[in-house]
């Protein structure tokens, strides 16, 4: 067989039930034992199709064929034969799209069979969350990852329904429609947190979200050869096939989802209800419903603010009142209520490469920065980064009718949208300005307070010049590498000194004189492991090619972290002390499962790179006095990877022994000003001093 051909195995079964049992108990574990790097399956009764990529090693294909022969001999299958798979390249959007489809198909196949089987954590999920519910959640993650607006998602659901028609479909009733709407807007981050019902499905849902993001990136780059929504529809149909949903179920689910998105509640009138038991979503378990179906926007908002007060984020009565009074959903009108009022960022605009460039920030971060700012009645405040206008509305409420807010953004559409929403919600004391945030807005200066809701590396001189002598500046400052903090600065002569700082990361300034561009380095050929580098990090990225293919050096530090203990000050110490600073290294779940890397967290690891070497953090569980903790380790790669791992490990020990639990102060002053500190870094306009107390 030609080595460029895709092997396909057609396994025939006596019936559907036997096929699924064999798939979960024989084929899935057998394929794992055969060490096949990438495989996926589809159902085509009475057969299943198992597909492998070209250039699959002969040893792997032979192992698969032995597996199928043994399964047939044992009576698990009627028979099997080898054939050729012809990829549906155009249907999935072209060469780039089919590559994404194959990655997702593999991840989905592995997880789906675990979910449908017995004895795994995902099988436990199946006991609580039926396959119809998980089908909707997976598809919703795909559409959310693709940055589709709410009604664009409705169009995809309608396309699925059109491709799975029924001659006499039952009516959709309001109760099931609203349950479906809640399911589609469920807070997946909360539901997949440790100990929650969907925690074991985190990687599965992440794979769908990542595929949606990748497809959106191809689309904005003009590299998708078919409409994005049509491609997403194709993905949903294939995923639902792997889950074993019948055509009737697929029609019912997609029609329910379409109705949930497109229906206007004011049009409700009694109608026959689609049967829950046979053709539609089963009763949604309590952990799966983030709100009751009759929750209003006000009730959702109250619940969100209650949460922020309970966890200590909101401590000031005026800030609590502003959050309760300001309708966030009106500032993100293209998103449903559940998304508007969950504690998560809402991404509202992407650039040509599919990278998010504007958002309504996570409510926790919004509240935290308002607590840092402490806006007072009658003040004049400058906000850098208008975004949706929601933060300006909160500020306008805090300063009252005798105060004034000036907010700036760089894009006309963002400015127009923020201005119209602020006027529509009655916030007349806000000037929304089109311009470069880095130059501020001198016409309304001086400002009692300045707050940046965009990330900055270095402070633009205009911000300092336009700040009143006793004013307060709150800015999410990228300090070095990927490490950022939201810092409150007050004047001390020619020096700005911190009075408070909190961990945070924001989208960077763009479109002006203080842009902070970021490079993304692919550490694997498929981009499943990446390294984020910033402008001051001058690492020769060409020397990192193939670095993960070199032998690994593993060093364990003896330093442990307990429970929810934050790594933020360790990250800060390492970015200050390491020559290459400290960077985020995002890792796709497939790369972790394949053993390419052993990341520190679900999203990836913190890492440092210099002179062609890479070292990143990892963790392993252990116990101290009966308490479960995690020991920090370092894994190094490259010609000097062992030495770099040792260097990082030594700094981790130094931090733990000498600086753990200590406060940190920050100071900024123009070049030429006498500035001292434990670490002093030169930036374009200023010096930055960082000192552990």
Mapping DSSP onto H, E and C, the string for 468-483 reads EEEEEEEEEEEEECCE
- On whether the CB atoms of residues 537 and 579 are closer than 8 A, the answer is no
**Nearest-5° angle of CA 135, CA 136, CA 137?**
95
Which of 20-34, 172-186, 566-580, 665-679 is predicted with the least confidence, judged by mean pLDDT? 172-186
* Residue 349 included in any domain: yes
Average pLDDT over residues 601-610: 94
The answer on 537 and 491 residing in a single domain is: no
The answer on 560 and 476 residing in a single domain is: no
Which of 86, 119, 137 terminates a domain? The answer is: 86
At residue 292, does pLDDT exceed 50?
A: no
The pLDDT tens digits for 500-530 are 999 887 655 555 555 677 889 999 998 899 9
CATH number of the domain to which 320 belongs: 3.40.50.150
Dist. CA 211–CA 139, nearest whole Å: 11
Which of 86, 110, 139 terminates a domain? The answer is: 86
Dist. CA 433–CA 412, nearest whole Å: 9
State the pLDDT at residue 293: 30
Strand order, beta sheet including 6-12: 40-44, 47-51, 6-12, 79-85
Catalytic site residue from 254, 358, 380, 528: 358
- On whether the CB atoms of residues 10 and 27 are closer than 8 A, the answer is no
72, 195, 508, 569 from 576: Cα distances, Å: 61, 35, 20, 11
At residue 146, does pLDDT exceed 50?
A: yes
pLDDT band at 312 (very low <50, low <70, confident <90, very high): very high
Dist. CA 9–CA 30, nearest whole Å: 14
Strand order, beta sheet including 495-503: 430-434, 404-409, 380-384, 447-452, 467-480, 483-492, 495-503, 664-670, 686-692, 679-682
Q: State yes or no: cis peptide before 525, omega within 30 of 0.
A: no
**DSSP H/E element including 625:** none
**Nearest-5° angle of CA 493, CA 499, CA 505?**
115
Residues 6+ positions from 550 with CB-CB distance below 8 Å:
637, 638, 639, 641
The answer on 540 and 441 residing in a single domain is: no
State the pLDDT at residue 192: 82
Q: Residue 626 — left, alpha, or beta (φ > 0 → left; ψ -120 to 50 → alpha)?
A: left
State the pLDDT at residue 189: 73
State the pLDDT at residue 355: 59
The answer on 316 and 437 residing in a single domain is: yes
pLDDT band at 279 (very low <50, low <70, confident <90, very high): very low
State the pLDDT at residue 287: 35
How many helices and strands (H and E) does the chain possess? 22, 23
Average pLDDT over residues 438-449: 94
Going by their DSSP bridges, the two strands 664-670 and 627-637 should be labelled as: unpaired
Average pLDDT over residues 277-285: 33
Give Cα 533 distance to the centre of its chain: 19
In the block, which residue shows the tokens 């001292």?
676
The answer on 466 and 352 residing in a single domain is: yes
* Residue 7 included in any domain: yes
Q: Residue 531 is encoded by which pair of tokens? A: 């390294």
Residues 6+ positions from 277 with CB-CB distance below 8 Å:
none
Residue 277 or 235, more confident: 235
* Residue 583 included in any domain: yes
Q: State yes or no: cis peptide before 304, omega within 30 of 0.
A: no
CATH number of the domain to which 48 belongs: 3.30.70.100
Dist. CA 30–CA 67, nearest whole Å: 6
The answer on 423 and 340 residing in a single domain is: yes
State the pLDDT at residue 33: 83
CA-wise closest residue to 592 among 123, 110, 98, 236: 110
The answer on 444 and 537 residing in a single domain is: no
State the pLDDT at residue 456: 85
Dist. CA 115–CA 118, nearest whole Å: 8
**Nearest-5° angle of CA 198, CA 202, CA 205?**
100
44, 490, 501, 567, 676 from 494: Cα distances, Å: 73, 10, 20, 32, 13
Structural domain count of the chain: 3
Residue 280 or 626, more confident: 626
* Residue 221 included in any domain: no
Average pLDDT over residues 552-566: 92
Q: Is 358 a catalytic residue?
A: yes
The answer on 554 and 423 residing in a single domain is: no
The answer on 377 and 307 residing in a single domain is: yes
- On whether the CB atoms of residues 414 and 437 are closer than 8 A, the answer is no
The answer on 522 and 448 residing in a single domain is: no
Question: Count of residues for the chain?
Answer: 693
Sign of the Cα pseudo-torsion (181, 185, 190, 193, in order): positive
pLDDT band at 193 (very low <50, low <70, confident <90, very high): confident
State the pLDDT at residue 557: 98
The answer on 596 and 531 residing in a single domain is: yes
At residue 265, does pLDDT exceed 50?
A: no
The whole model's pTM is what?
Answer: 0.59
* Residue 606 included in any domain: yes
State the pLDDT at residue 271: 30
Domain of 420?
299-503
**DSSP H/E element including 667:** strand 664-670
The answer on 340 and 423 residing in a single domain is: yes
550: Cα within 13 Å, side-chain hemisphere: 20
Average pLDDT over residues 463-476: 95
Give Cα 625 distance to the centre of its chain: 35
Dist. CA 604–CA 586, nearest whole Å: 4
In the block, which residue shows the tokens 């990892």?
618
Residue 619 or 292, more confident: 619
In the block, which residue shows the tokens 């043994």?
70
Which of 86, 113, 148 terminates a domain? The answer is: 86
* Residue 244 included in any domain: no
* Residue 263 included in any domain: no
At residue 8, does pLDDT exceed 70?
A: yes
* Residue 205 included in any domain: no
């Amino acid at each position: 067989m030609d080595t460029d051909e895709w092997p396909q195995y057609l396994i025939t079964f006596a019936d559907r039930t036997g096929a699924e049992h064999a798939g979960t108990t024989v084929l899935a574990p057998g394929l794992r034992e055969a060490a096949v790097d990438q495989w996926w399956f589809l159902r085509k009764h009475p057969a299943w199709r198992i597909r492998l990529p070209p250039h699959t090693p002969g040893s792997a294909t032979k192992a698969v064929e032995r597996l199928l022969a043994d399964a047939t001999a044992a009576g698990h299958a009627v028979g099997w034969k080898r054939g050729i798979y012809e990829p549906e390249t155009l249907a999935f959007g072209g060469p780039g799209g089919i590559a994404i489809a194959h990655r997702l198909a593999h991840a989905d196949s592995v997880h789906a069979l675990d979910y449908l089987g017995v004895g795994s954590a995902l099988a436990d999920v199946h006991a609580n969350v039926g396959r119809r519910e998980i089908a909707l959640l997976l598809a919703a993650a795909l559409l959310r990852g693709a940055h589709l607006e709410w009604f664009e998602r409705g169009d995809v659901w309608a396309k699925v329904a059109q491709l799975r028609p029924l001659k006499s479909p039952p009516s959709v009733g309001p109760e099931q429609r609203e349950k479906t709407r809640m399911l589609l807007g469920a807070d997946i981050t909360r539901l997949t947190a440790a100990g929650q019902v969907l925690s074991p499905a985190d990687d599965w849902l992440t794979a769908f979200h990542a595929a949606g993001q990748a497809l959106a990136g191809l689309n904005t780059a003009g590299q998708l050869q078919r409409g994005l929504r049509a491609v997403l529809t194709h993905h949903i149909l294939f995923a639902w096939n792997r889950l074993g949903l019948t055509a009737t179920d697929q029609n019912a689910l997609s029609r329910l989802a379409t109705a949930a998105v497109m229906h206007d509640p004011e049009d409700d009138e009694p109608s026959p209800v689609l049967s829950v038991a046979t053709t539609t979503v089963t009763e949604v378990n309590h952990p799966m419903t983030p709100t009751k179906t009759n929750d209003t926007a006000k009730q959702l908002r109250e619940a969100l603010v209650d949460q922020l007060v309970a966890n200590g984020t909101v401590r000031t009565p005026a800030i609590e009142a502003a959050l309760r009074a300001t309708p966030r959903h009106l500032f993100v009108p293209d998103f449903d209520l559940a998304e508007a009022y969950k504690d998560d960022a809402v991404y509202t605009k992407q650039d040509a490469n599919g990278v998010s460039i504007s958002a309504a920030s996570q409510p926790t971060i919004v509240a935290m920065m308002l607590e840092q700012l402490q806006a007072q009645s009658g003040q004049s405040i400058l906000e850098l980064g208008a975004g949706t206008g929601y933060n300006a509305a909160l500020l306008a409420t805090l300063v009252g009718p005798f105060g004034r807010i000036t907010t700036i953004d760089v894009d006309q559409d963002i400015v127009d949208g923020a201005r119209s929403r602020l006027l529509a919600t009655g916030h007349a004391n806000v000037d929304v300005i089109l311009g470069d945030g880095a130059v501020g807005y001198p016409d309304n200066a001086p400002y009692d307070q300045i707050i940046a809701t965009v990330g900055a590396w270095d402070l633009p001189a205009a911000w300092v010049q336009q700040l009143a002598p006793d004013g307060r500046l709150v800015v999410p400052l990228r300090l070095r590498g990927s490490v950022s903090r939201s810092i409150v600065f007050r004047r001390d002569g020619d020096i700005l000194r911190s009075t408070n700082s909190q961990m945070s990361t924001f989208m960077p300034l763009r479109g002006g004189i203080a842009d902070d561009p970021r490079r993304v380095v692919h550490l694997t050929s498929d981009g499943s492991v990446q390294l984020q580098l910033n402008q001051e990090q001058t690492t020769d990225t060409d020397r990192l090619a193939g670095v993960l293919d070199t032998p690994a050096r593993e060093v364990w530090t003896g330093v442990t972290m307990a429970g929810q203990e934050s790594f933020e000050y360790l990250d800060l110490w390492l970015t200050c002390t390491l020559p290459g600073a400290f960077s985020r290294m995002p890792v796709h779940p497939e790369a972790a499962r394949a053993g390419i890397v052993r990341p520190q967290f679900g999203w990836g690891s913190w890492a440092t790179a210099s002179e062609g070497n890479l070292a990143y953090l990892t963790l392993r569980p252990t116990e101290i006095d009966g308490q479960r903790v995690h020991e920090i380790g370092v894994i190094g790669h490259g010609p000097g990877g062992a030495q770099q791992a040792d260097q990082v490990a030594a700094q981790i020990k130094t931090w733990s022994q000498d600086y753990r639990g200590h406060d940190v102060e920050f100071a900024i002053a123009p070049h030429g000003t006498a500035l001292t500190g434990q670490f002093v870094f030169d930036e374009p306009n200023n010096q930055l001093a960082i000192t552990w107390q």
